Amino acid sequence: MRHIISVLIENEAGALARVSGLFAARGYNIESLTVAPTQDETLSRMTLVTYGDEMIIEQIIKQLNKLVDVVKLLDLSDGPHIERELMMVKVKAEKGAREEMKRMADIFRANIIDVTDSSYTIELTGAGEKLDAFLTAVNDDLIMEVVRSGPLGISRGAKGLGL
Amino acid sequence: MELTGAEIVVQALKEEGVEYVWGYPGGAVLHIYDALFQEKAVQHILVRHEQAATHAADGYARATGNVGVALVTSGPGATNAVTGIATAYMDSIPMVVLTGQVPTPFIGSDAFQEVDITGITRPCVKHNFLIKRVEDIAETMAKAFYIARTGRPGPVLVDIPKDVTDPNIRIPFEYPKKVSMRSYKPVEKGNARQVRKAVELMVKARRPVIYTGGGVVLGEASDELRKLVAHTDFPVTNTLMGLGSVAASDSHFLGMLGMHGTYEANMAMHEADLIIAIGARFDDRVTGKLAQFCPNARIIHVDVDPASISKNVRVDVPIVGQVKPVLRDMLKFLKERKSGPDKAALKEWWARIETWRDVNCLKYVNSDKVIKPQFAIETLHKVTKRRNFYLTSDVGQHQMFAAQFYPFEKPRRWINSGGLGTMGFGLPAAMGVQQAFPKATVACVTGEASIQMCIQELATCSQYDLPLKIILLNNGYMGMVRQWQEFFYDKRYSHSYVDALPDFAKLAETYGHVGMTIENPGDLEAAYKEAFGMKNRLVFMNVIIDPEENVYPMIEAGKGHHEMHMSPHLSAERELA
Ligand SMILES: Cc1ncc(C[n+]2csc(CCOP(=O)(O)OP(=O)(O)O)c2C)c(N)n1
Ligand SMILES: [Mg+2]
């Protein structure tokens, strides 16, 4: 099963390496991992997407909690939550194809954020499936570069993950 | 009070009540060594290899329960210490290792004797720190000791760049009185509801077994365990790391379980309907094939580390907490109940266990021509049983023979590397024990291969007058390797013969010790008596044993508890019967 886990971790040198090292050393799957400081600059927030059976996910959560730098974590998959991922795609947009590409961006509510006479750079935010759908919709030959942030997650409702 | 960084490091050690530091100097730690030179309260012991510094600190910690401390220089000093750090990590031993580092401006430049030791050790420490400012030393040291000794203990490494200990920079010194970390809160008592649930299972059990590991020793819960065993009349087995937590002479004790465990312990596990696992981690050497592990049992698991629970084996009643208070509660709740464990069922269970005991699985055929390793350990027990005695071990057959044949009556008396299985551990660990208990009798049982991995420490023993008794069970082989090759590789003894051995007795003498070579079974007891009579001398006993004796019973890796190989003569006897 796929799980999306949010981790509040001390913003210390090596903290990220402890998490990625843990996944490598114990052979856990890791699909994506994003990390950035929070409003409290002593804390970073990590969102990681992993998969495994129930026993493995339980171990992943326990092992993460065991890291001395980890302050708090939440398995977002346990409850209602929102996921968003950012993608930027550089596509070929030449002559007659430009209009079609613009229309495609509009359909997906994407923004064109950079333009040359032969290319567009398109920005798209949404759940992972929406981003996948966009890539499927665009002809493979037209895609020059794709960069994705990996999902970010937050729980629904008034309660937040904080100290 | 204004102090330099180096002085703060040493003051921190004093504040933590550290008596001994095992170490080896080098460029990056020279400022710290200078501060140590001027400090009398903390005694530094100069080892001959950094691996030994960590093992000695580790042995000290295992015997005393205090945090062991090692100090080494950057680069090769630090990498040499890694084996000892990993050894302590696998057995959850509280230790603080201080490593020197190149000055902060040089970090990352491949400077002379630079290694990224926090990176290298990350997977084998409980935690590690790189100190970047002199202002951070006191707090970091306090955190390091706090983390090492609380919760599930473990080694903590503190990397200290040379400029941070600069003798020209002084700052006010104040040591934190209390450490509190928002990201690290070790658990205390277990959840009472869970303990009650466990008690309900215990009184209903018909075939219970208590299975305990190193956690009972580390958690100082031996008394509580003994009370629980006495109160319930349940059989109890220990892992290699747990030996001594119940008295070997207690009739409830089934011996060690696992790969070289007793027939009765393993069969009881296999047939049990309830396992009460306490401070044990379901290691593969203990469980054998997981799919066949305790097939009929419900499992209660008490452990201070939640990540230990349901890691390898799914448990029915997890109890996260310090073993000691949990066992206290367990006993209290048991006593509060009107009816206790099922006496009739237990009687039947014990009757079955006795039939397994009657197999006498450790029986061996002694010889009057060649010393059998089992006999060597039995005789060792005979000669030392009235002493205040500690036994350390290296890794191999001799370790298993010692675990099987030396009946340990108290915790912290059997000191060996169980998790990592580190050859070279025995001698330096014994140095740490002897340092802690100068009046005690400390022996190390070893093999001719293992002892050569840290034999240079015989010099340290001379320098510090450590009167260890080294019992080398010399079979001329890496016996444990040879045994596997005999069983699983058709006796192709590939590189397991230990050729070109020195004359160990003479070697010991050149280091200033007493050396003995013992070859006849008839001479063994008298030789031991003579050796143990030499109170103030290290005696190195080179005991020449049967080269091809094997350790039985044995469960092959990946087999179930009920699939033990028994010693061939036992199988023969049984066929006759
Ligand atoms: C550092 C290290 N290297 C290799 C091994 C693998 N190993 C386990 S037991 C053993 C043989 C030990 O031989 P010896 O010390 O003579 O003990 P014996 O088994 O003969 O009693 C070896 C090589 C190990 N445990 N540790
Ligand atoms: Mg040998």
pLDDT value at position B228? 98
Q: Is the pLDDT of residue B503 over 80?
A: yes
Q: Which of B82, B398, B450, B453 to mutate to test the pocket of ligand 1 (most atoms within 8 A of CB)?
A: B450
pLDDT tier, A163 (very low <50, low <70, confident <90, very high otherwise): confident
Type of residue numbered B145: F
Contact B329 CB / ligand 1 (< 6 Å): no
Chain B residues whose beta carbon lies within 8 Å of the beta carbon of residue A59: 307, 310-311
- Whether residues A21 and B122 touch (CB distance < 8 A) is answered with yes
Contact B431 CB / ligand 1 (< 6 Å): no
Judge whether B227 and B301 are in contact, CB under 8 Å: no
Residue of minimum CA distance from atom 9 in ligand 1: B396
**Chain B contact for A9 (CB, 8 A cutoff):** yes
Contact B480 CB / ligand 1 (< 6 Å): yes
Q: Which of B404, B422, B423, B546 to mutate to test the pocket of ligand 1 (most atoms within 8 A of CB)?
A: B423
How far, CA to CA in Å, does A8 sit from each of A5, A63, B39?
Answer: 10, 14, 42
pTM here is 0.98
pLDDT tier, B188 (very low <50, low <70, confident <90, very high otherwise): confident
- Which two tokens mark B63? 């015997």
How far, CA to CA in Å, does B333 sit from each of B253, B324, B345?
Answer: 23, 14, 21
Judge whether B429 and B58 are in contact, CB under 8 Å: yes
- What's the order of all strands across the beta sheet hosting B95-101? B43-46, B20-24, B68-72, B95-101, B155-161, B127-130
Which residue out of B7, B141, B145, B162 is catalytically annotated? B162
Mean pLDDT (chain A, rounded): 96
Which residue out of B43, B113, B292, B452 is catalytically annotated? B113
Q: Is B113 a catalytic residue?
A: yes
How far is ligand 2, taken at its centre, from the CA of residue A116, in Å? 75
Burial B250-280 (b: 16+ CB within 10 A, else e): eebbbbbbbbbbbbbbbbbbbbbbbbbbbbb
**DSSP single-letter state for residue B94:** -
**Chain B contact for A54 (CB, 8 A cutoff):** no
- Picking from B259, B197, B239, the residue whose alpha carbon sits closest to that of residue B91 is B239
- Whether residues B310 and A69 touch (CB distance < 8 A) is answered with no
**DSSP single-letter state for residue B291:** G
Residues 6+ apart with CB under 8 A from B555: B258, B259, B260, B261, B266, B288, B561, B563, B564, B565
Give pLDDT tens digits for B318-366.
999 999 999 999 999 999 999 999 999 999 999 999 999 999 999 999 9
**Chain B contact for A59 (CB, 8 A cutoff):** yes
What span, in angstroms and rounded, lies between the C-alpha atoms of B19 and B21? 7
- What's the order of all strands across the beta sheet hosting B414-415? B414-415, B389-393, B441-446, B469-474, B539-544, B514-518
pLDDT tier, B576 (very low <50, low <70, confident <90, very high otherwise): low
Q: Is B50 a catalytic residue?
A: yes
pLDDT value at position B189? 87
% of chain B beyond a pLDDT of 70: 99
Contact B25 CB / ligand 1 (< 6 Å): no
Q: Is the pLDDT of residue B117 over 90?
A: yes
Residues 6+ apart with CB under 8 A from B449: B396, B423, B477, B478, B498
In the block, which residue shows the tokens 């790391």?
B241
pLDDT value at position B448? 98
Pair type for strands B389-393 and B414-415 = parallel
- From A18, A59, A65, residue closest to B122, measured CB to CB: A18
pLDDT value at position B571? 77
Q: Is B106 a catalytic residue?
A: no
Judge whether A10 and A157 are in contact, CB under 8 Å: no
Looking at per-residue pLDDT, the higher value among B572 and A33 belongs to A33
Nearest residue of chain B to residue A62 (CA atoms)? B307
- Whether residues A70 and B307 touch (CB distance < 8 A) is answered with no
Bridge partners of B554?
B565
What span, in angstroms and rounded, lies between the C-alpha atoms of B502 and B511? 13
